[in-house]
Amino acid sequence: MIGYGFMGAAHSQGWRTAPRFFDLPAEPEMAVIVGRDADRVEAARQKFGWTAAETDWRRVIDDPSIDIVDICTPGDSHVEIAIAALDAGKHVLCEKPLANSVEEAERMVEAAERAAARGIRSMVGFSYRRLPAIGLARNLVAAGRLGEIRQTRATYLQDWLVDENAPLTWRLDKSLAGSGSLGDIGAHAIDMIQYLTGTTVDAVSGTLATFVTERPLLGDTRGLGGTASGDGREVQRGPVTVDDAAWFTGRLSSGAVGSFEATRFATGRKNAFRFELSGSLGGIAFDMESMNELQFYDATAPAGERGFTRIIATEPEHPYAANWWPTGHALGYEHAFSHEAADLVGDIVAGRDPKPSFADGLQVQRVLAAIEQSAATGSAWVTTG
């Protein structure tokens, strides 16, 4: 695994736990964790349960004993690491968004296609697909329970940047992150709507906003309340080069219309990823802050009995739930990463192409690029092809 921050911790939990709760056809060994800082990556190795620590990802690529490379680094490094790993015959799991540009994502897809011809698999980490409530939603749509889907709504609301003196992290640097709220959390919303509906977002109209254009450099905590610290020293601030919030509408390949919002300035909202699908026969609604629940409306029921039904997605019939706790005992954010690891191992051993694929990641990247183009040019609609 390359990277040991927030996503590295989540992925480590997934790899560590999956073989304890799923009957996997092969057991993954957590062999090497990689990071540039020797002391910090060694601390991560001990904390997360990896066997060895390394500071150069290229040595991992060259190691014939490594079968899978899991990429949890900032987006600017995805393309180089993923292509090198695939060309070296390693299966690859890469965090979303797949890359920082369409051109990079296209190169990654080409590498994935070359590798697939040799039996090498790749997957992009849209982990929310693997929550039991999301699996249930997908099954309801696929079974036709919603009928013709006409409208979709998806919002992803966070508030961790509301404080204008929050430090300038890599997620606020376009050269590292590719984009701000749009790619960080808006990508989840795009992928989710496409996944649930089985369609693609083919045209978009978007607006981006950056509310705080400069922030204290990482590690400088003296700037609370002004541009100088209490001892009179000037606070060093750097430019924010990504969006803080994004709004866009989309036309789906089915003819449905979608509305989207992604923001890290929704005061009071911590991780409110919400979506709603409205169809001719029914509707579904989901909120990540109640991730074990799905709301389902059956428009075919007698008029006097209609209303959204709250389904607790912890029954053995719900995707993945049978591998965990008794009915009604909730799962959490981290379980999606165990499901991701279990599915990837199963697909590799079975010789199946995992989902979501790098091609799926490229499709999301094209939507992100079209939104940025629409926002920059003021174009009413930009196609994603």
pLDDT value, residue 219: 64
- Range list for CATH 3.40.50.720 in the chain: 6-128
Q: What span, in angstroms and rounded, lies between the C-alpha atoms of 348 and 101?
A: 27
Q: What is the pTM assigned to this prediction? A: 0.94
Q: Where in the chain is the domain with CATH 3.30.360.10?
A: 132-377
Q: Is the pLDDT of residue 381 over 80?
A: yes
Side-chain-facing half-sphere of 37: CA atoms under 13 Å = 8
Residue 128 pLDDT class (50, 70, 90 cuts)? very high
Contact residues for 152 (Cβ-Cβ < 8 A; gap 6+): 193, 196, 197, 252, 256, 257, 258, 259, 275, 276, 277, 278
With a cut of 70, say whether residue 232 has pLDDT above it. Answer: no
Give the model confidence (pLDDT) of 265-312 as tens digits. 999 999 999 999 999 999 999 999 999 999 999 999 999 999 999 999
DSSP per residue over 26-53, as a string? SPPP--EEE-S-HHHHHHHHHHHT-SEE
pLDDT digits over 148-199, tens only?
999 999 999 999 999 999 999 999 999 999 999 999 999 999 999 999 999 9
| pLDDT at 231 > cutoff 90 | no
99 neighbors 178 (Cβ within 8 angstroms): yes
Secondary element (H or E) of residue 139? helix 132-142
Q: What is the pLDDT of residues 67-84, one digit of tens each?
A: 999 999 999 999 999 999
* Domain covering 6-128, topology: Rossmann fold (3.40.50)
236-266 pLDDT, tens per residue? 999 999 999 999 999 999 999 999 999 999 9
pLDDT at 146 (0 to 100): 98
Look up the CATH number of domain 132-377.
3.30.360.10
Are the beta carbons of 106 and 82 closer than 8 angstroms?
no
